[in-house]
Chain A
């Protein structure tokens, strides 16, 4: 076997490679935006899922806090946007800030029991949140529309004039809005994970006691990560509200949505930076592609459910680190990234959905962090 090609972080070849990947991603987006409206819309939902799963990745992947309540953050973001737009005549984009702030606050509060409760017991706390959300939506029906749901008038969701999109181009506008947001979220996660805070997160995940003994403030890490994670998933919820324009407590915000997020995260690869994107493609496209295989309409969705479960189990057997984890291990044989010797500024993160080509060895890199964090 030939020796792998060694790249040093922060050198010109490395930067050029990243630039090329970013350019490829932008080109792919441009190409995708010209597809049929239905396809563009489908890709938009992939981006929204990817943002939501990135949020989950912060808590579950990097910090090891298993959450089965992220459907609640998704719903909280969506309903904040929906309620502010319909009841208080806010501009949809302006609702993002309060929604994200609210989700952060709620996430922080949920993080508080995590100071005492661990592992599967902590999952029960998040489970309670996931169960509570649809019930609360039904309870406060004067605000949320209750079980009947909340419909946002399409007219209110038209693109703003400054965006350059006409009133009829809502699909295109949301496609680009979601794509740019996803890019920003991925960049944020990348920077966070490579920072001191990221080290603290991974150390907390790998051995809490050792982390605390080495000076990591475990309590602060857990609560803020829960808040941040909830905020990112809530952000996805905002976009989802604009995308779907019709919210109902039993439709998209039940525990089954949380399970979908976890599934996506595992398929893509937990604690990898691009795993959520791959996972989002999987959870949107596997059901879609397999449902067209169904010969009859009687059991629609059932065959896809069976295949989905089988794929999930196969992935655990064949690629335990998820698709991105497995691919980065393969690509690690061809190209090796070596950290720069002195502290150079962090190179720009790759943009958007360039998962196939990315040589960034997420999993491998994280293991380095672990070793350094917990000595």
Chain B
């Protein structure tokens, strides 16, 4: 029982990280119509900024704030200068610009702060004794902290989407960009805001998650997270924020359970098994769990 709870807790912590990154991907997708391949490396870059500030003596929460602001600025700047000019051409072009950013940002982080692994301080107490025991299982405070932050971010996003004018504009642009523009929504600004918000979310996720990961902060830290976040976003349905959160949590828990209980594949093929299940679900529901079907007129 306690082992099951342990695995569930680990799974939920991982799942929270996938969920928040998947949410960032979905926000960009709804506006720009593509998966932002550079999302992970944007998060990596802003996390390096936070780490760099801590080496200068700043507390880690200040690093978190600065990296989130850096994410806002970077995201908005990238949308305005690199994405908007090619967006009208086709989705493939946006995807390739993202691939270029993916390569360039990763290498730039390595160029500025060299490619050695960094130890990232944690915002939450993360000693071996910092846990609460629930049913014999240990729920560590840093994991719990991640849950809470993700909960807050998700709640903020839902308030933004559903209770504010800007959120209404974002939904309008996602639904029908041309009609939105005709009704006076400033489409360009809304898209820029979407990129800025998702880059900031990525920055928060990066600062929170790197102290948890065994590899700490290295140039490879964010790539696997991006892969699983994309899988989660697709699983939930690319245009659905709820889907992203559900998809992320399911993927995280599924990985841990497979690793723990399916002996003959678990210890060597956790990723493969989890992705295979997702593909099987997609065969039944080709646009993910919560995604809307695209209707096409010929």
Contact = CB atoms under 8 A, between A and B. Distances in A.
A131 B231 CA distance: 11
Nearest to B37: A259
Interface string A317-353: 1001000000000000000000000000000000000
B230 interface: yes
B93 A124 contact: no
B183 to A, nearest CB: 28
Contacts of B82: 313
Interface in A276-306: 298-299, 301-306
Interface string B92-121: 110011011111111110110011000000
B107 A305 contact: yes
Contact of A213 (B96, B104, B105, B298): B298
A128 B99 contact: no
Interface of B: 34-35, 82, 85-86, 89, 92-93, 96-97, 99-108, 110-111, 114-115, 223, 227, 230-231, 234-235, 238, 265, 268-269, 271-272, 275-276, 278-279, 282-283, 286-288, 296, 298
A299 B111 contact: yes
Interface in A239-287: 255, 259, 262-263, 266, 270
A309 B98 CA distance: 9
Contacts of A305: 103-104, 106-108, 110-111
- Nearest 8 pairs of A and B residues by beta carbon: A305-B107, A309-B104, A312-B100, A128-B275, A309-B103, A132-B272, A302-B110, A313-B100
B279 A308 contact: no
Contact of B114 (A209, A255, A299): A299
Contacts of B97: 312-313, 316
Contacts of A266: 92, 96, 99
Contacts of A125: 279, 282
Contact of A118 (B34, B101, B286): B286
Contact of A308 (B92, B103, B238): B103
18 contacts: A116-B286, A117-B282, A120-B234, A120-B238, A128-B279, A132-B275, A135-B272, A213-B298, A259-B99, A259-B102, A299-B110, A306-B103, A306-B108, A308-B103, A309-B101, A312-B100, A313-B96, A313-B97
Given A120-B234, A124-B278, A301-B107, 5 more contacts: A124-B279, A131-B271, A263-B103, A313-B100, A316-B97
Interface in A173-206: none
Nearest to B270: A135
B104 A310 contact: yes
B231 A127 contact: yes
Secondary structure call for the B interface: helix
Nearest to B100: A312
A124 B271 contact: no
A128 B276 contact: yes
A127 B224 CA distance: 12
Contacts of B103: 259, 263, 305-306, 308-309, 312
A207 interface: yes
B111 A136 contact: no
A272 B295 CA distance: 30
Contact of B272 (A128, A207, A259): A128
Contact of A310 (B86, B100, B231, B283): B100
Contact of A135 (B86, B110, B271): B271
Contacts of A14: none
A121 interface: yes
B268 A138 contact: yes
Contacts of A136: 269, 272
A309 B105 contact: yes
Contact of A128 (B111, B268, B278): B278
Contacts of B105: 309
B150 to A, nearest CB: 23
Contact of B100 (A120, A135, A309): A309
Contacts of B278: 124, 128
B227 A127 contact: yes
A139 interface: yes
B231 A313 contact: no
A120 B111 contact: no
Contacts of A302: 107-108, 110-111, 115
A32 interface: no
Contacts of B106: 305
A266 B98 CA distance: 13
Given A121-B238, A127-B275, A128-B275, A210 B298 contact: yes
A306 B114 CA distance: 13
A304 B110 CA distance: 11
A311 B34 CA distance: 21
B244 to A, nearest CB: 14
A263 B95 CA distance: 11
Contacts of A255: 223, 227
A113 B283 contact: yes
B89 A303 contact: no
A204 B286 CA distance: 18
Contacts of A139: 265, 268-269
Nearest to A131: B271
Given A120-B34, A121-B286, A136-B272, A312 B110 contact: no
Contact of A306 (B107, B286, B287): B107
Contacts of A270: 92
B283 A117 contact: yes
Contacts of A309: 100-105, 107
B106 to A, nearest CB: 6
Best-surrounded residue of A117, A139, A313 (most CB of chain B within 10 A) = A313
Contact of A299 (B93, B115, B235, B287): B115
B105 to A, nearest CB: 7
A362 to B, nearest CB: 17
A309 B85 CA distance: 17
B110 A121 contact: no
